[in-house]
């Protein structure tokens, strides 16, 4: 059922799209927080169709649609975003120490392609602030994931230390931790997706996770987030590493560095990662390839170019257990969640 919020989104979007993309982003999140704390947002909240809850990574999800990392980097807008209908929210990427990210402008809209290009570079307030923000949430009942990364100044040889610092800090408040190996905007980060580097990281993080589990009396699943720009052989090798290492979940995919699809656009050669409609098919193919290699046991969170309900269903059919939105949510607003769930309740996935 459409609500004031879903109906007014196209108009709101037309105003926001007149502003610089990053300014519009901050303004929207501030507006959402304000509307939530005044109680207005809960009254305008979209009505979602009843769905059966999903168990995944040992956690309960009200439905399969969550928010992807990068929109609430600080973890200070969880309650408001929850009101819009997300079943789970992944905050971050958060690094051990605060960092300002790349110089602006660093976020670009390509409306003709329903796409974004970003080279934000992990602008974030640091893990301590992230933990404080998440601890301060009031209403959101769903799982909150912490997407963690390394600081830009940390060399890859010491990346593990950064991930361990962030894992330890996030553990008491996170429902799951997502290890980001796939942002194209931190130089060299994607090198950590090499099978040997990934295996070392996974082994060390799982070991630390086991210790933290006995210390805190609860297990926080660890997921790895991968890029869409992987060759079949690389997917096979990584899948072997993930199976052997007992990975709890895979998030596929991050943005792509392949910008052929937007080559004719004036902003098409901006440096950074491309998201939205040009990523839909590639991301679904990567999910299908991982599902084939991983077997049934490792859950996959499917993300990348979900712009309409059909895209979501195709990702579930390709083997995703849960879904995440970012760019589609910017272009379509909260109506996209409703649309997906309406189709999902009728689909046999």
Q: Looking at 275, 308, 321, 338, which residue binds ligand FMN (CB under 6 A)? A: 275
In whole angstroms, the minimum distance from the beta carbon of 333 to ligand FMN comes to 13
Residue found under tokens 């999140």: 29
In this complex, which beta carbon is closest to ligand FMN, that of residue 65 or of residue 83? 65
CB atoms within 10 A of CB 123: 18
Regarding 226 and contact with ligand FMN (CB under 6 A), the answer is no
Regarding 325 and contact with ligand FMN (CB under 6 A), the answer is yes
Regarding 305 and contact with ligand FMN (CB under 6 A), the answer is yes
In whole angstroms, the minimum distance from the beta carbon of 209 to ligand FMN comes to 19
Residue 66 contacts residue 85 (beta carbons within 8 Å): no
Tell me which H or E stretch contains 56.
strand 54-56
d(CA 231, CA 290): 11
28, 182, 183, 283: the catalytic one is: 183
- How many chain residues are in contact with ligand FMN, going by CB under 6 A? 28
Q: Looking at 99, 147, 154, 198, which residue binds ligand FMN (CB under 6 A)? A: 147
φ/ψ (deg, to 5) at 88: -150, 155
Segment near ligand FMN (CB under 6 A); pick from 34-42, 203-211, 259-267, 272-280: 272-280
In this complex, which beta carbon is closest to ligand FMN, that of residue 50 or of residue 119? 119
In this complex, which beta carbon is closest to ligand FMN, that of residue 69 or of residue 261? 69
C-alpha separations of 136 from 78, 235, 246, 330 in Å: 10, 39, 32, 26
Angle at 223 between CA 348 and CA 170, to 5 degrees: 125
Task: Look up residue 195 and give its DSSP letter.
Answer: H
Residue 135 bears catalytic tag: no
d(CA 215, CA 218): 8
In whole angstroms, the minimum distance from the beta carbon of 141 to ligand FMN comes to 22
Instruction: Give, as ranges, the residues between 21 and 60 that touch ligand FMN (CB under 6 A).
Output: none
d(CA 198, CA 192): 6
Which structure tokens are listed for 26? Answer: 């901050």
In this complex, which beta carbon is closest to ligand FMN, that of residue 5 or of residue 307? 307
Residue 36 contacts residue 83 (beta carbons within 8 Å): yes
d(CA 204, CA 229): 25
Q: Looking at 180, 193, 284, 338, which residue binds ligand FMN (CB under 6 A)? A: 180
Regarding 304 and contact with ligand FMN (CB under 6 A), the answer is yes
E strand residue ranges, 144-299:
144-148, 176-180, 222-226, 249-252, 273-276
Q: Looking at 326, 331, 335, 338, which residue binds ligand FMN (CB under 6 A)? A: 326
d(CA 54, CA 9): 29
Q: Looking at 328, 331, 337, 338, which residue binds ligand FMN (CB under 6 A)? A: 328
Residue found under tokens 């709890």: 248
Regarding 186 and contact with ligand FMN (CB under 6 A), the answer is no
Q: Looking at 28, 76, 77, 183, which residue binds ligand FMN (CB under 6 A)? A: 183
User: Residue 302 pairs with which residues in a beta bridge?
Assistant: 252, 323
Regarding 303 and contact with ligand FMN (CB under 6 A), the answer is yes
In this complex, which beta carbon is closest to ligand FMN, that of residue 165 or of residue 307? 307
Regarding 255 and contact with ligand FMN (CB under 6 A), the answer is yes
Regarding 306 and contact with ligand FMN (CB under 6 A), the answer is yes
CB within 8 A of 177, min separation 6: which ones?
A: 145, 146, 147, 148, 166, 167, 170, 171, 209, 220, 221, 222, 223
Regarding 107 and contact with ligand FMN (CB under 6 A), the answer is yes
The binding site for ligand FMN (CB under 6 A) comprises: 68-70, 73, 92-93, 107, 116, 118, 120, 122, 147, 180, 183, 225, 254-255, 275-276, 279, 303-306, 325-328
Instruction: Kindly list the catalytic residues.
Output: 183
């Amino acid at each position: 059922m459409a609500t004031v919020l879903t109906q007014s989104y196209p108009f709101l979007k037309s105003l926001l799209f007149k502003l610089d993309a990053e300014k519009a982003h901050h303004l929207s999140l501030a507006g959402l927080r304000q509307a939530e704390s005044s109680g207005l947002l809960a009254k305008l909240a979209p009505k979602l169709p009843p769905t059966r809850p999903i168990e995944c990574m040992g956690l309960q999800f009200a439905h399969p649609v969550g928010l992807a990392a990068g929109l609430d980097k600080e973890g200070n807008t969880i309650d408001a975003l929850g009101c819009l209908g997300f079943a789970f929210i992944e905050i971050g990427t958060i690094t051990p120490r605060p960092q300002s990210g790349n110089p602006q402008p660093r976020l670009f809209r390509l409306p003709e392609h329903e796409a974004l290009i970003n080279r934000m570079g992990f602008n974030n307030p640091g893990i301590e602030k992230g933990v404080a923000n998440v601890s301060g949430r009031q209403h959101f009942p769903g799982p909150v994931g912490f997407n963690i990364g390394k600081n830009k100044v940390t060399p890859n040889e010491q990346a593990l230390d950064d991930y361990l610092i962030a894992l330890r800090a996030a553990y008491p408040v996170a429902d799951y931790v997502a290890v980001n190996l796939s942002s194209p905007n931190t130089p060299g980060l994607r090198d950590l997706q090499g099978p040997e580097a990934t295996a070392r990281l996974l082994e060390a993080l799982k070991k630390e996770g086991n210790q933290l589990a006995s210390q805190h009396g609860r297990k926080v699943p660890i997921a790895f987030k991968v890029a869409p720009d992987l060759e079949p052989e690389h997917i096979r090798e990584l899948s072997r590493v993930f199976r052997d290492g007992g990975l709890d979940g895979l998030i596929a995919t991050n943005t792509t560095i392949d910008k052929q699809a937007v080559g004719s656009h004036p902003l098409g050669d901006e440096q950074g990662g491309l998201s939205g409609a040009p990523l839909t098919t590639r991301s679904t193919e990567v999910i299908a390839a991982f599902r084939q290699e991983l077997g049934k046991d490792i859950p996959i969170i499917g993300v990348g170019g979900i712009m309409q309900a059909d895209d979501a269903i195709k990702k579930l059919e390709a083997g995703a257990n849960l879904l995440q939105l970012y760019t589609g949510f910017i272009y379509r607003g909260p109506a996209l969640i409703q649309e997906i769930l309406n189709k999902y309740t009728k689909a046999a996935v």
